[in-house]
Amino acid sequence: MSKQFGPEYVRAIAPYQAGKPISEVAREFGLDEANIVKLASNENPFGVPESAKQAMAQAAAELGRYPDANGYELKLALSKRYDVPMEWITLGNGSNDILEIAAHAFVEAGQSIVYSQYSFAVYALATQGVGARHIAVPAKAHGHDLDAMAAAIQDDTRLVFIANPNNPTGTFVKGAEIEAFLKKVPSHVVVVLDEAYNEFLSKEDQYESAAWVKQYPNLLVSRTFSKAYGLAGLRVGFGLAQPGITEMMNRIRQPFNVNSLAQAAAIAALNDKDFLDKSAQNNAAGYQQFVEAFEQMGLEYVPSHGNFVLVKVGNDLAAGARVNLALLKQGVIVRPVGNYGLPEWLRVSIGLPQENAILIAALQKALAGTRAE
């Protein structure tokens, strides 16, 4: 028998399953890449903003040098935007990095981390990666049950992950409820408020989490440039928190975790209000397009506040995998969520109108041709 390396808690990790890349689906199913529609990873269907492309072209000349380890220019821009001191900002290689850094900085092996059932898969990975114990709190209507999460906090709990809106379900908890939760949580427990989809929220749903950071020394707000800002491939996100948290994060963070192109592109994207507005409008229209189609098809879905929708494609435990395969054969990539304990559902990212239409037609065909009975 070959030797087993490393600790048991690392061996126990089920590796993250990402949305399939277009090239892989083309190879596997003998399709032309140009005809494939990918609505699997909640990316911005407009791609990289032009402003960010230009900023990167300029920054490319300096790639022989290390990036600014402190990310001065980007932090300055973020500091102005969110009205927090630069010293309260942690840049991440994607916000995934922020989540990982938080687990490493605040939790010892054996201590516990609280998060919700059906919440983002990376919370479980970050928990297991530090040998911590997870307390997964049953969801309420596919979303966070914050009262139950507050009640689930133990003496050894050091971290709580909340995704708002949540991925993969799209559920949203109102700002007032989050704030009530923050008031209840013991002050030594760090609350990570992961707002990867914040920019898609309607005006009424928006709340001032950056302002809460001033009030709650145990709050870490996490944001990303991967979704609404269209920079998923660059890997850049950030955390906002008081120095008690940020200085600990900075000890764990890799010195050059955000590369030069990413820093330059993020500044440009942050200032590109037109791109953000266009993306939010497209998203709202695409959501209506999906919702109307799902209702016509008699498919149950979870009302979403993000740039994706969770839709139920059958009643048996193989439904998600079966319909997913039927979609792949038609060149449409979506996200099966069996690994989240939702095997009857698929998560579909909102794309451009014509991409959404292709998905809807392919789904109709898939459902007609793949009955379980």
Ligand X SMILES: *Cc1c(COP(=O)(O)O)cnc(C)c1O
In terms of CB distance, is 117 or 167 closer to ligand X? 167
| Residue 283 binds to ligand X (criterion: CB under 6 A) | no
Residue from 45, 49, 237, 314 touching ligand X (CB under 6 A): that is 237
Binding flags for ligand X, 323-362, as an x/- string (CB under 6 A):
----------------------------------------
71, 18, 47, 50: which is closest to 262 by C-alpha? 71
Beta bridge partners of 113: 134, 159
Round to whole Å and give the CA distance between 198 and 200.
Answer: 5
Radius of gyration of the chain (CA): 21
Which positions from 77 through 116 interact with ligand X, judged by CB under 6 A?
94-96
In terms of CB distance, is 96 or 246 closer to ligand X? 96
C-alpha dist (Å) from residue 77 to 74, 85, 209, 219, 242: 5, 11, 17, 21, 18
* Nearby residues of 217 by Cβ (< 8 Å), 6 or more positions away: 187, 242, 244, 245
Q: How far is the CB of 229 from ligand X (least distance, A)?
A: 10
Binding flags for ligand X, 129-158, as an x/- string (CB under 6 A):
------------------------------
Dihedral sign from CA coordinates of 355, 356, 358, 359: positive
Q: How far is the CB of 99 from ligand X (least distance, A)?
A: 7
284, 349, 354: which is closest to 311 by C-alpha? 349
Residues touching ligand X: how many (CB under 6 A)? 13
| Residue 226 binds to ligand X (criterion: CB under 6 A) | yes
Round to whole Å and give the CA distance between 198 and 181.
Answer: 19
| Residue 230 binds to ligand X (criterion: CB under 6 A) | no
Which positions from 163 through 222 interact with ligand X, judged by CB under 6 A?
163, 167, 194, 196
| Residue 272 binds to ligand X (criterion: CB under 6 A) | no
The footprint of ligand X (CB under 6 A) covers: 42, 94-96, 120, 163, 167, 194, 196, 224, 226, 232, 237
